[in-house]
Amino acid sequence: MSNILNVIVIAAHPDEPEIYAGAISALYAEMGHRVKFVTLTDGCCGHHEMCGEELIARRKQEADEAAKHLGVLEYVVLPIPDGELMPTPEVRKEVIRQIRGWEADIVITFHPDGPGHVDNRNAGKIVRDAADFVAKVPNAVPEVPSLKKSPIFLLMPDYAARAAYSPDIVIDAGSVIEKKLRACDAHASQFYEFAPWQGDFLHEVPDNWEEKRTFILKYWDRFLRVSDEVLPTLSKLYGQDYAASVRYAEPFEIANYGRRPNEDEMKTLFPMLTTSARM
């Protein structure tokens, strides 16, 4: 592993890498590391008025804009219809290509089991199934060189699993919360149109940024702020005094597949933990 880390976030729909892993991605980018986002579907179900190629193109444009706010270098949206993601060999091979092509040190994705969106679960299953092939299996997907070492796999809590979540790592998101909020703002079709329509609060969508910022913090609170299930890990990693001051956070679990980093490697892989602990 070089001094520059290669991080890839693999989710199901455009806007999920931002809301679940936007802060850790922005922190890596600020430190000079390379971050890539991949969504395994095109998000074509994500609207109440728009549809088809028009919506797909809009969501890709929003994704590219969000990437700029976070410092993400690439944002790939695969042409698989929203709601139809399945853990097939073909999709698994594409995930292997994406991970190898990025020479990933860290892969962030969804849990393969549990409640929540079926595409999210299947994204987690696909990455889990791909994990055994990305390193030291050169005859699998031979057109992309096999990695010499398995990445570390981190699991994001799907929105429906958060309350029962017990993270191994919690990232203090405070220093980059504005970048994360701006990335969410870029996905206007989701944060100001489709989700408010689904939740019957479309009439509350504001016009200016300061009010939009408050709007996102209100309705996506559980994705942004520190909650009870992350407090023990926060205190363990940062100390109780520092943890008590943290307002915004992102939790992750180290997957039970791939490999588990030792204590020294944790400091290399997650330098933002060491930096925050010294503050």
Dihedral (CA of 140, 254, 125, 250) sign: negative
Tell me the three state secondary structure of residue 44: coil
pLDDT over 70 percentage in the chain: 97
- Would you say residue 23 has pLDDT above 60? yes
Quote the pLDDT of residue 114: 73
Scan for tokens 């943290």, then name that residue.
246
Question: For 200-213, what is the mean pLDDT?
Answer: 98
How many other β-carbons are positioned within 10 Å of the β-carbon of residue 161? Answer: 18
Quote the pLDDT of residue 279: 44
Give the pLDDT confidence of 175-201 residue by residue, as tens digits.
Answer: 999 999 999 999 999 999 999 999 999
Quote the pLDDT of residue 278: 41
How many other β-carbons are positioned within 10 Å of the β-carbon of residue 264? Answer: 8
Query: Which residue pairs, CB below 8 angstroms and at least 24 apart, start in 243-249?
Result: 246/172, 246/174, 247/174, 247/177, 248/23, 248/172, 248/173, 248/174, 248/177, 248/180, 248/224, 249/23, 249/170, 249/171, 249/172, 249/173, 249/225
pLDDT over 90 percentage in the chain: 86
DSSP lists the bridge partners of residue 10 as: 38, 109
- Would you say residue 33 has pLDDT above 80? yes
Phi-psi region at 17: left, alpha or beta (left = phi > 0; alpha = psi -120 to 50) = alpha
Structure tokens belonging to residue 131: 């994990």
Closest Cα partner for 216 from 245, 246, 196?
196
Scan for tokens 């962030």, then name that residue.
108
Scan for tokens 């890498």, then name that residue.
17
Side-chain-facing half-sphere of 91: CA atoms under 13 Å: 25
Closest Cα partner for 165 from 237, 232, 221?
232
Report all structural domains of the chain as residue ranges with CATH numbers, in order of start. Answer: 6-272 (3.40.50.10320)
Structure tokens belonging to residue 179: 């970048």
* Lowest-confidence pick of 74-83, 142-151, 258-267: 258-267
Quote the pLDDT of residue 103: 98
Quote the pLDDT of residue 157: 80
- How far is 120 from 109, CA to CA, in rounded Å? 9
Give the pLDDT confidence of 92-133 residue by residue, as tens digits.
Answer: 999 999 999 999 999 999 999 878 899 999 999 999 999 999
